[in-house]
Structure 1
Amino acid sequence: MKNRRYLVYDVFTDRALAGNPLAIVLDCEGLDTKAMQAVAREFNLSESVFVLPPEDSRHRARLRIFTPDYEMPFAGHPTVGSAVALAELEENGGSDAIFVLEENIGPVRCAVRRGQGATFAEFDLAKLPEQLELSADPEAIGAALGLGPHEIGFENHRVSFFSAGVPYVAIPVANLAAAGRARLDNAAWSELAPRKSEWAFASPYIYCRETVDHASAFHARMIVPGSPSYEDPATGSAAAAFAGAVMQFDRPGDGTSRYWIEQGLEMGRPSRIRLELEVEGGRLTAGRIGGQAVKVAEGTLFA
């Protein structure tokens, strides 16, 4: 048994007890996959990160990301939270930093900016969103969320299916009221979007143009199917996939476009995610996900 340091950060928020909580386990040498999975189940957060020495000495660290049930190839709030934590652990933690984190999806470039408030970090998308085939009828998708056909879609936005490493069904709804009423019927959803592997299932990402914070461009919810299902307060990998829907329906002009996405309000964990798109010749050439994170706990793991 070895004593291992751990940190808990709230991510995509500038204050404690909001955003998406993340456990970050340091000193992970000697932990195998089975042990990491057991520790993630012990923390029982949406994701836990295990920090290992990098395989490439030019990189800052290797990350392995686990939910309580399986390992992820990539996830947004663990990347942002880990980038902030690793920067703050440096002796010169008051300065900005740029480094690469190794994840199962590949190398992920991160930039960290310190200010007077909570630390901000962003990462480049290791994989741009790609559109996947979705055969389910939009009315059936709405019904699986307890919504009527008239509540699905707004303007030219229609149900779409994208992945930037993790797949999501992007479901536009009419307004905040419709977003707030959405409730996932697991049995109905499993017929529409069956699990493809232990991690590659298609979760619903519900969004609308109407927002609570006028500085936000979109209001979003993400519900993870399962028995039981649960809601995620802030989902960076979903925002990365959602970039595909923004490109398809909003067609931003060439240059840099930035969007703030609010999430987690329905569950009392308000979060803000920044989606940044680089467009050239009408095509998405790069994207970034960013947000703030704050440390809320630290301790020792006896495992």
Structure 2
Amino acid sequence: MKKTYDYFLCDVFTDIAFGGNALAVFPKADGLSGEQMQKIAREFNFSESAFVFEPEGEGDKKVRIFTPTREVPFAGHPNVGTAFVLAESGVIDLQGGRATVVFEELAGLVSVDLMRHDNGMLEAKVRAPEQLSLGEALPVERIAEAVSLSTYDICVEHHQPQVISVGLPFLCARVSNLPALQRARPNVAAIEQLESDGIVADIHLYTHLQEENTLQARMFAPLDGVPEDPATGSANAALAGLLAHLQPADSGHFEWSIKQGMEMHKPSLIKATAVKQANSVTEITIAGTSVMLSEGRFFIE
């Protein structure tokens, strides 16, 4: 006998339909196996799909997140979008237009603050579940080859290409300017070689724009079934932590607006913040609004 599972589709990190990063959310996924969730995620073929369960510990809900090829411990836009869907569908009660929900995920407890703006848009702010970790640096030649750029396009004035994470690792590099960022293309053979060598193969590129504290980014994860991602909260959260770490001040509160998805015609805007105290990055958040697109149901044997 088939069982019915309702789902919602939304676009995340945008205030317009068909912008941002698409997400499928199953608000009542109890009964689905890991294999079934992976098949559903592959069927949608979004960057990620999110499945909500009753909590097992200290959280309000348990959330599992799947790319088309694997389960991941944490991701940004599924947390923003899942909190948005649960609030808009009445599962989360907004008291005075605000609420906080805690999700149990493989990376740990993830806290999300919700706030309704005067224009009716609902913003979700996600606290990274882990502190910033800085992994190995990579030779410029290898990152340049992986994204089909010249070594001169990779900027190393502030930091080498290196692995960064706040729950999900990415290989991060700064490129010299916007035209270089726009020229980048994933070189799958070179990316497969990175993975074969035990190096994180999800690549996050960014550059600084002329507007103050404004960045533009791109993220390539072809080995995860995501040739390019229009908005990557987990990567940009780690990037915010890295940039705060590099600030000369030993303490402070830092903010960035990060554009992504422009080359895909899926414009996204991510607000990122980081707090630094005594030369240590102590808190990182990413925030954005979402737009509901549709709802439907799956029929599972």
Name the CA shift for 1:301/1:251 in 2 (closer, same or farther; >3 Å): farther
Paired position in structure 2 for 1:118: 121
| Other-structure match for 2:292 | 295
Q: 2:229 aligns with which of 214, 220, 232?
A: 232
- Which residue number in structure 2 is paired with residue 175 of structure 1? 177
Q: Paired residue for 1:53?
A: 54
CA shift for structure 1 position 17: 0.3
Partners of 1:8 and 1:281 lie apart in 2 by 42
Match of 1:268 in 2: 265
Residue 239 of structure 2 aligns with which residue? 242
Indicate conservation of the 8 Å contact 1:194/1:202, yes or no.
Answer: no
The superposition leaves residues 271-291 of structure 1 with CA deviations (integer Å, 9 ceiling, x where unpaired) of 011111111112111111111
Tell me the equivalent position of 1:28: 29
SS of the equivalent of 2:30 reads: coil
Q: Which residue of 2 aligns with 1:10?
A: 11
Q: Partner of 1:133: helix, strand, or coil?
A: strand
Residue 155 of structure 1: CA displacement? 4.3
* Cα 1:233/1:227, change in 2 over 3 Å: closer
AA aligned to 2:129 is A
State the partner residue of 2:206.
207
Secondary structure of the structure 2 residue equivalent to 1:288: strand
Instruction: Give 1:192 shift.
Output: 3.1
3-state SS of the aligned residue for 2:179? helix
Query: 1: distance between equivalents of 2:122 and 2:225?
Result: 34
**TM-score under structure 2 normalisation?**
0.91
CA deviations on 1:205-261 (whole Å, 9 max, x unpaired) are 1111126xx366211000113297610000011012213431343345523211111
Cα distance in structure 2, aligned partners of 1:274 and 1:257: 11
* CA–CA separation in structure 1 for the residues paired with 2:49 and 2:292: 14
TM-score of the aligned structures, taking structure 1 as reference length: 0.91
Aligned counterpart, 2:143: 141
Indicate the SS of the match to 2:155: coil
User: Are the counterparts in 2 of residues 65 and 75 from structure 1 also a CA contact under 8 Å?
Assistant: yes
Contact 2:218 2:260 (8 Å CA) reproduced: yes
Higher deviation after alignment, 116-125 or 176-185: 116-125
CA contact (8 A) 1:216 1:262 kept: no
Instruction: Name the CA distance, whole Å, in 2 between partners of 1:124 and 1:53.
Output: 21
SS of residue paired to 2:55: coil
Helix, strand or coil: the match of 1:220?
Answer: strand
Q: CA RMSD in A?
A: 2.1
Q: Distance in 2 between matches of 1:21 and 1:263?
A: 13
Aligned residues: 296
- Mapped pair 1:130 → 2:133: yes
- The answer to whether the Cα contact below 8 Å between 1:160 and 1:245 also exists between their aligned partners in 2 is no
Q: Is the 8 A contact 1:204 1:222 kept in 2?
A: yes
SS at match of 1:239: helix
Residues in 2 aligned to 1:279 and 1:250: alpha-carbon distance in whole angstroms: 9
Q: SS state of the match for residue 24, structure 2?
A: strand
Q: Verify the 8 A CA contact 2:75 2:234 in the aligned structure 1.
A: yes
2:224 and 2:61 map into 1 onto residues whose CA distance is 34
CA contact (8 A) 1:4 1:302 kept: yes
Task: Quote the Cα distance in structure 1 between the aligned partners of 2:148 and 2:62.
Answer: 41
Name the SS of the counterpart of 1:30 in structure 2. coil
Mapped contact 2:67–2:224 kept (Cα < 8 A) = no
Unaligned runs of 5+ in 1: none
CA distance in 2, matches of 1:153, 1:83: 36
CA distance in 1, matches of 2:224, 2:9: 26
- The alpha-carbon deviation at position 149 of structure 1 amounts to 1.9
1:81 alignment partner, SS class: helix
- Letter matched to residue 77 of structure 1: H
Unaligned runs of 5+ residues in structure 2 are: none
- 2:158 aligned counterpart, secondary structure: coil
In the alignment, does 2:101 pair up with 1:99? yes
The structure carrying a bigger strand percent of its residues is 2
